[in-house]
């Protein structure tokens, strides 16, 4: 057996990628699925379609490498915080999944913040800020708004999970209801220090323990798939939320190493070592991974979250229709030397780090009669890099050490103009690896370590190779002026949708 299969279930598509022992992509299959927007600020997915597309691409990828007999293990990585509630008996969801971008529980989060003691306890125990981004208030909303759900959950008839749990349930024919510590740490329900569901938090959000999955290490064989799904039973041996998986795939194993993933959103994580570090700059403290490279070893991270990054380019394509395809944005933006003082704040789902404003909304400022679609395209790319620069600044202040480079991955990291902008706005080099599929690669590494396919962190770190290094070119006074002007634009986006 010469491969590991990674199931990479993202916000807009399901992918399956097969990796060989050198960490190279041997096969890839991908399918998009529907994005549902039933009300302003609401974002949903059909969990059944997520499973159908994920199963289909897994079959496609396995066929490309000669079938399941060639694969040693499966690793799972997933969009985090997206919340599914389903019937244990039928395996059917009782409602659409509420996506991490969804803002319907922002008023509930306001209420929790007004309870000072509760807010303090939540942040102390979970390492998270109180925001509609996380799963806990989404699950509470489903229990309150789906007829009969709360009583059925308390009776043990319903199961909650983030997307990893939903996939494991379907892969095992309903035999296993589990999550890993990295995904569990994003729910507002897990104590970072005990790595278990916390009774005080469950009571605060009125969540019955009977609905929750088991919390398992990120690396370790937890089950085998139903043989009928792929033609053979395959071990499920690794699980991690997408951003933690990408950090692992980037071989950020030492404290102080950081990466940024450019996908639907942007997520910057820095390894802080074996103990959680409380942020002073509105970053999140989160579990990186648990289990690999030593028994029950846990790595923690600081994280900054940008809710809308690559989705900004999708909006230019599908909403404004000024692009035919997403890759076209680079050439269009390069038609102008600057934005003409136009700034796009893509707060379509509120603002994440460091502002945490669930009521912010997208704003386009500085328009003149001379503004063209090229200026708007360039402003969209700058917005991705400027939001990440805000996060990088907060992370540098928290780390109390200068971060000397940033490793990057994700689909938009292949955009050279964007990566140069990022280096310019950070003032430090940006390094893109040869394999940019680091989210799926991290899931594969976690699974392969559990089965002995890879022997340890040194072997994985040796496989990481740089593709290109982007050095900053923008003079420091211009960089500071750009960041200050951006913050002016952000202030204009804040609070727009507040009731």
Cα dihedral 394, 395, 397, 400, rounded to 10, equals: 180
Whether 165 has a pLDDT exceeding 80, the answer reads yes
% the chain with pLDDT above 90: 78
Which CA distances in Å does 408 have to 12, 57, 244, 296, 388? 20, 26, 13, 28, 11
Bridge partners, 13 (sequence order): 32
The pLDDT of residue 118 is 79
For 444-495, the pLDDT digits (tens) are: 999 999 999 998 888 998 999 999 999 999 999 999 999 999 999 999 999 9
- Look over the chain and give the mean of its residue pLDDT values, rounded to a whole number: 93
Which CA distances in Å does 128 have to 87, 188, 352, 463? 29, 7, 12, 33
Whether 96 has a pLDDT exceeding 50, the answer reads yes
Which CA distances in Å does 363 have to 104, 132, 308, 369, 497? 20, 21, 13, 18, 12
The pLDDT of residue 119 is 82
For 14-59, the pLDDT digits (tens) are: 999 999 999 999 999 999 999 999 998 899 999 999 999 999 999 9
Instruction: Select the more confidently predicted residue: 399 or 132.
Output: 132
The pLDDT of residue 303 is 93
Residues making up the binding site: 11-13, 15, 80-81, 133, 242-243, 264, 310, 314, 411, 415
Which CA distances in Å does 260 have to 225, 414, 481? 32, 13, 23
Whether 344 has a pLDDT exceeding 90, the answer reads yes
Cis peptide before 354 (omega within 30 of 0): yes
Bridge partners, 77 (sequence order): 8, 240
The alpha carbon of residue 92 and the mean position of all alpha carbons in its chain are separated, in whole angstroms, by: 25
Ramachandran assignment for 381, one of left (phi > 0), alpha (psi -120 to 50 degrees), beta (any other):
alpha
Alpha carbon distance 141, 42 (integer Å):
12
Side-chain-side CA neighbours of residue 69 (13 Å):
1
Alpha carbon distance 391, 393 (integer Å):
5
Q: pLDDT grade, residue 296 (50/70/90)? A: very low
The pLDDT of residue 294 is 52
Whether 295 has a pLDDT exceeding 50, the answer reads no
Cα Rg of the chain, angstroms: 21
34-37: long-range contacts, CB 8 A cutoff, minimum separation 24? 36/96
Whether 349 has a pLDDT exceeding 70, the answer reads yes
- The secondary structure of the chain in percent helix, strand, coil, rounded to multiples of 5, reads 40, 25, 40
Residues making up the binding site for ADP: 11, 15, 264, 310, 411, 415
For 45-94, the pLDDT digits (tens) are: 999 999 999 999 999 999 999 999 999 999 999 999 999 999 999 999 99
Write the CB contacts of 132 (distance below 8 Å, at least 6 apart in sequence): 102, 103, 104, 105, 106, 108, 109, 138, 350, 358
The alpha carbon of residue 203 and the mean position of all alpha carbons in its chain are separated, in whole angstroms, by: 27
DSSP class of 350: B
The pLDDT of residue 241 is 96
Alpha carbon distance 247, 60 (integer Å):
27
Whether 403 has a pLDDT exceeding 90, the answer reads no
The pLDDT of residue 263 is 85
* Sign, CA torsion 48/10/252/479: negative
Alpha carbon distance 51, 241 (integer Å):
17
Residues making up the binding site for ATP: 11-13, 264, 310, 314, 411
Host H or E run for residue 136: helix 135-145
Q: Stretch 197-213: mean pLDDT, rounded?
A: 95
Residues making up the binding site for glycerol: 80-81, 133, 242-243
The pLDDT of residue 293 is 59
């Amino acid at each position: 057996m010469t491969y590991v299969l990674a199931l990479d279930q993202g916000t807009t598509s399901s992918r399956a990628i097969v990796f060989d022992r050198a960490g190279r992509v041997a096969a890839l299959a991908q399918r998009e699925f529907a994005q549902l927007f039933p009300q302003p600020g609401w974002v949903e997915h059909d969990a059944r379609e997520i499973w159908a597309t994920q199963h289909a691409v897994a079959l496609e990828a396995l066929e490309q490498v000669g079938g399941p007999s060639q694969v040693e293990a499966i690793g799972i990585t997933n969009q985090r915080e997206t919340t599914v509630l389903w019937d244990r008996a039928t395996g059917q969801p009782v409602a659409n999944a509420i996506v991490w971008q969804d803002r319907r529980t922002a008023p509930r989060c306001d209420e929790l913040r007004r309870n000072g003691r509760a807010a303090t306890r939540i942040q102390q125990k979970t390492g998270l800020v109180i925001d509609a981004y996380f799963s806990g208030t989404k699950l509470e909303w489903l229990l309150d708004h789906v007829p009969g759900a709360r009583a059925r959950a308390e009776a043990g008839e319903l199961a909650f999970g983030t997307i990893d749990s939903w996939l494991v349930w379907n892969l095992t024919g309903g035999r296993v209801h589990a999550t890993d510590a990295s995904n569990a740490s994003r729910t507002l329900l897990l104590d970072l220090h005990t790595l278990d569901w916390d009774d005080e938090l469950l009571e605060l959000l009125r969540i019955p323990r009977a609905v929750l999955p088991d919390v398992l290490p990120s690396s370790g064989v937890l089950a085998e798939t139903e043989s009928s799904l792929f033609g053979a039973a395959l071990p499920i041996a690794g699980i991690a939320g997408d951003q933690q998986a990408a950090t692992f795939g980037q071989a950020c194993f030492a404290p102080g190493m950081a990466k940024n993933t450019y996908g639907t959103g942007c997520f910057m994580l820095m390894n802080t070592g074996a103990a959680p570090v409380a942020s002073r700059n509105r970053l999140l403290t989160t579990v990186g991974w648990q289990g690999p490279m030593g028994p029950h070893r846990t790595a923690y991270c600081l994280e900054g979250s940008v809710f809308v990054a690559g989705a900004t380019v999708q909006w230019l394509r599908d909403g404004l229709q000024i692009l035919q395809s997403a890759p076209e944005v680079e050439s269009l933006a390069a038609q102008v030397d600057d934005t003409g003082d136009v700034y796009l704040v893509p707060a379509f789902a509120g603002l994440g780090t460091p502002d945490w404003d669930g009521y912010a909304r997208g704003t386009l400022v500085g328009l003149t009669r001379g503004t063209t679609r090229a200026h708007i395209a360039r402003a969209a790319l700058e917005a991705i890099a400027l939001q990440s620069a805000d996060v990088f600044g907060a992370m540098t202040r928290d780390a109390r050490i200068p971060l000397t480079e940033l490793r990057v991955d994700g689909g938009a990291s292949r955009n050279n103009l964007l990566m140069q902008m990022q280096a310019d706005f950070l003032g430090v080099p940006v390094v893109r690896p040869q394999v940019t599929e680091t989210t799926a690669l991290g899931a594969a590494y976690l699974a392969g370590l559990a089965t002995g396919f890879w022997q340890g962190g040194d072997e994985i770190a040796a496989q990481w190779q740089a593709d290109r290094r982007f050095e900053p070119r923008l003079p420091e006074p211009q960089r500071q002026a750009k960041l200050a002007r951006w913050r002016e634009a952000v202030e204009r986006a804040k609070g727009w949708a507040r009731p």
